[in-house]
Structure formats: C-alpha cells, structure tokens
Amino acid sequence: MSKTGVLEKGSKYIMNTYNSFPIVLKKGKGVYVWDEDGKKYMDFVAGIAVNVLGYGDEKYIEAIKDQLEKIHHCSNLYITEPVVSLAETLVENSSFDKVFFCNSGTEAMEAAIKLSRKYAYKNKGEGASEIISMKNSFHGRTLGALTTTGQEKYQKGFGPLIPGIKYAIYNDFASIEELVNENTCGIILEVVQGEGGVNPAKKEYLEKVRKLCTEKDIVLIFDEVQTGVGRTGKLFAHEIYGISPDVMALAKGLGGGVPIGAMMAKEKFALAFSPGDHASTFGGNPMATTAAGHIVDRLLNDGVLKNAEESGKYLRKKLEELKDKYGFIKDVRGLGLMQGIEVDINTGDIIKNAMANGLLLVGAGASVIRFVPPLIVTKEEIDEMIEILEKALDISKN
Ligand SMILES: *Cc1c(COP(=O)(O)O)cnc(C)c1O
C-alpha cells in the first residue's frame, strides 16, 4: 500500500480518537525509526515511554518468538512459567508481595481502585469508598480511571462519572487533609505527573501523604504506569524518594512494547481480593509476561537500568544548557529519562519542526515538551538529539 493509501484508509476505517501525524512508520532499530518514504527519525517518544529497548532488539525478539512457539495464551484457568517468573522478579525487586496482571495502564488503575474499595469495605465498612486523586493527573480512559483523572478536558461529555472521587492539589498536602474523612479509602497520585506536564512530587509531600495513609488506614496508590520500570533511573520512581505506597500500578514500559499492565500490592492489601473479585482474560498471558520478564531482566542484569540513570543525568544536563541559551525555555524538570521542558512558545510548532528535522517528540500538558527515549539511549545519541532539537527551536522561536 502506498503512503497516501495507508493515511487515507486510516482516516476512513479507524475511529477518530487521535490526531495522528501524517507519516507512516515502517521499521525501527535502536532509538531510530524510518517512515514509508525512507526518512529516518530519532525517537524520543518511544511509543510514549514504552519501548524500553528501542526497536529491533534481537534478544527481546528471540525471547518472545521462543515463547510463541511454545504456548502463547491459555487464560488464567491455567498457570504458566513466564507469569510466575515475572511475578517473582517483580516482587523480589520491590516492596510489594503480590501482583495482578492486566493489559494496560487504565486497567491497572481500575484494579487499584477496586482493591482499595474492597479493602475498605472489609476493614472500615460499606460507606468507606471515597478516593482522593490529584488535579492535573492522568490515570487512563476507562470510567473509573477517567474519574480519578483530575482534568475536565478528558471527562467532558462522559458523565455520570463514578461517584466518590474528590480532587486535591498536587504537591499540596493541606489540600488532601481538607478532603480526608472516615470514608476515605484511597489516595491516588503519580510520582511524576506525566501527561499533566512532567511534574515531580516533592519529597516532603510524599512523606506526609504516606504518614497520613498509615495513620488512617487509607490505601496509598502510586500510579507508576509511566514512571515505573526504569524510566526514572530506578526500577520504580518511588525508590528515589525512599517512600513506598501500599499499591502500585504499572504498564507502559513493562512489556517494552508488548501490551501488559500490573497492579502490585503489599500482602495486607492484596488479601482484600478473593477468587472471583477481579479478573482479566488476557492478563498474565505467557507471551506478554515473557516480554516483560525479558525487559525486567535486561534492566536489572544487563546494565539497562544503570544506563537509564546515567543517560537521564546527561539528558538533564543538556536540557539545562538549552535553558540557559533559549529564553523561552522556562523550566526543565523530571526524573531520569522522563524529562520535560516548559516553554512559552507553541509546543505544537516545536514538535512539527523537530519532526521535519528527523526527531520525534511528544507534548505533555499545554506548554511542555516531553523527552522519554528508549532506556538504551547513549550520550552520543542524546548529543545528536540536542543538535536536531536546537534546529527545531531556532525555527520555532521565529
Ligand atoms: C499512560 C498512562 C495511563 C494509562 O495507560 P494506558 O495503557 O494508556 O491505559 C495511566 N496512568 C499514567 C500515569 C499514564 O502515563
């Protein structure tokens, strides 16, 4: 099919939920992708913080292929080795005791919402179903996760949303205290707000929320869908703060591009679910858990996590240098390989001009450009990205 054919059929047959760019991606290798016209791009979007190993990683492909030839799916009526190994690795390398597998970030959040309600139902009684989430957050598109997403632009037209959700201000502990009562069952927050504009949590804020939740037996849920699995230079972003939640949601990077999500919980909270309480046909599928098992193994045992940490520091330094050079860059923020620059010129122009010059970027919120490259990105590749970015910034500022 020709490039225009693909684009035309795309708009004819696919439901109109995304403003896709007018290019057709064809293949990738490492941090690079090529489109149908043979144009090469550096990819600092990485499937929106998903492609941990970039593209075409031979060992990753081989691991998935091997599993496909053995058994690719069997439902949770039967158990397989890949799902058990992945669960063991995640538990043994975290502060959690149990894991539930699903297929996406929004599903991991639904599972977390349900678990917190069931826990409170058993421990506090029927009315204790209120959840506090943060304004400017993003937790997904299904109705529960959408309700906890504290941004009206995503919710408009989809009401009635689920009852019992209240919104506090991110990084403002007093605003949480005002909303907490004896019916609060959970508090949900991102360690770094991703879609909301790459806003890291303050340590003191997380410490206070942790203390409050412990005192009042409120389930503390961290949405690490974007920040988890090495993105910030640690396996999970909350490790940087030395604060662990009761429940955590994962997805994006977990499978390196094969769809998989997970909810992890400490024993006491995990016990709230009994057989029949929650389920997923695809969740923990042997193909997806093989992919995720390979990703986590490469992070921990093949230097990928260490690379993410070092390259993250380097990227930050390079972006700070740009801030000194370009007055319209107002802020640089983020953790590890999840960085953002806040600008007071049009972000759409920067993204468009970067693309024309061979660099894929994605926005976050209204005024932030996000950098979430594959975790294998090298310093040389970051230098190359900065060069292209500067070209795009020079064009965009005019
Ligand atoms: C992307 C994202 C989600 C939703 O994940 P999906 O896989 O798109 O459902 C939830 N929370 C955060 C923090 C995210 O970045």
User: Which whole number is the average pLDDT over 324-332?
Assistant: 97
Query: What count of residues does the chain have?
Result: 398
In contact, 383 and 318? CB cutoff 8 Å: yes
Query: Tens digit of pLDDT for each residue in 169-220?
Result: 999 999 999 999 999 999 999 999 999 999 999 999 999 999 999 999 999 9
Q: Check if 139 has its Cβ closer than 6 Å to any atom of ligand 1.
A: yes
pLDDT at residue 245 is higher than 80: yes
CA of 398 to the centre of ligand 1 (A): 34
Structure confidence at residue 107 (pLDDT): 98
242 pLDDT band, cuts 50/70/90, is very high
pLDDT range class, residue 226, cuts 50, 70, 90: very high
The mean pLDDT of 380-387, rounded to a whole number, is 98
Q: Could you tell me the distance, in angstroms and rounded to a whole number, from the CA of residue 139 to the centre of ligand 1?
A: 5
CA nearest neighbour of 261 among 221, 298, 222, 225: 225
Q: Is 258 annotated as a binding residue?
A: no
Position 38 scores a pLDDT of 96
CATH number of 3-56+304-396: 3.90.1150.10
Q: Is residue 398 scored above 80 in pLDDT?
A: no
What residue type is 64 in one-letter code?
A: I
Average pLDDT, rounded, for the chain: 97
- Residue 59 reports pLDDT greater than 80: yes
pLDDT tens profile 166-181:
999 999 999 999 999 9
Rounded average pLDDT over 13-39: 95
What is the structure's pLDDT at 122? 97
In short, whether 193's Cβ falls inside 6 Å of ligand 1 is no
Report the nearest-CA residue for atom 5 of ligand 1: 105
Residue where the block lists tokens 């965009």: 396
- Nearest residue (by CA) to ligand 1, atom 15, is 226
- Predicted confidence at residue 104, as pLDDT, reads 98
Q: Tell which one of 101, 106, 224 to mutate to probe ligand 1, the residue whose CB is within 8 A of the most ligand atoms.
A: 106
Closest-lying ligand 1 atom to the alpha carbon of residue 223: 13
Per-residue confidence (pLDDT) for residue 384, from 0 to 100 = 98
Cβ neighbours, 10 Å, residue 327: 11
Percent of the chain with pLDDT strictly greater than 70: 100
User: What is the rounded CA–CA span in Å between residue 63 and residue 86?
Assistant: 14
Could you state, in order of their start, the residue ranges of all structural domains in the chain?
3-56+304-396, 71-301
Q: Could you give the CA distance from residue 322 to residue 324 in angstroms, rounded to a whole number? A: 5
Q: Which residue has the tokens 């662990």?
A: 244
The closest of 198, 226, 257, 260 to 140, measured between CA atoms, is 226
Please report the beta strands in 247-298, taking only residues with DSSP state E, as ranges in sequence order. Answer: 247-250, 261-265
166 Cβ inside 6 Å of ligand 1: no
Structure tokens belonging to residue 92: 């043994």
- Under 8 Å CB-to-CB from 143, ≥6 apart: which residues? 158, 161, 162
DSSP bridge partners of 188: 221
**Pocket flag, ligand 1, residue 226 (CB < 6 Å):** yes
pLDDT interval class at 93 (50, 70, 90): very high
Q: Is 303 annotated for ligand binding?
A: no
Q: How confident is the model at residue 165 (pLDDT cuts 50, 70, 90)?
A: very high
Please determine, looking at this structure, whether the domain spanning 71-301 carries the CATH number 3.40.640.10. yes
Token pair recorded at residue 219: 């389930």
Q: Is the CB of 103 under 6 A from ligand 1?
A: no
Residue with tokens 């090495």: 230
CB of 105 shorter than 6 A to ligand 1: yes
Whole-angstrom distance, CA of residue 162 vs CA of residue 160:
7
Which residue would you say has higher pLDDT here, 355 or 18? Answer: 355
- Which residues make Cβ contacts (< 8 Å) with residue 349, sequence separation at least 6? 395, 396
Locate tokens 């390398």: which residue? Answer: 93
Whole-number Å distance, alpha carbon 140 to ligand 1 midpoint, is 5
Please compute the mean of the pLDDT values over residues 306-311 and round it to a whole number.
98
Q: What is the whole-number distance in angstroms between the Cα of residue 69 and the centre of ligand 1?
A: 30
d(CA 287, CA 81): 11
Calculate mean pLDDT across residues 59-76: 97
Q: Is 226 annotated as a binding residue?
A: yes
State phi, psi for 131 to the nearest 5 degrees: -125, 135
* Cα 336 to middle of ligand 1, angstroms: 18
Q: How far apart are CA 283 and CA 260, in angstroms?
A: 7
Q: Does 106 show up as a binding residue in the annotation?
A: yes
| Per-residue pLDDT at 397 exceeds 90 | no
Q: Work out which ligand 1 atom sits closest to the CA atom of 194.
A: 15
Mutual orientation of helices 347-356 and 379-396 as an angle, nearest 10°? 120
Ligand 1 centroid – CA 363 distance (Å): 15
Span from the CA of 397 to the centroid of ligand 1 (angstroms): 31
223 annotated to a ligand binding site: yes
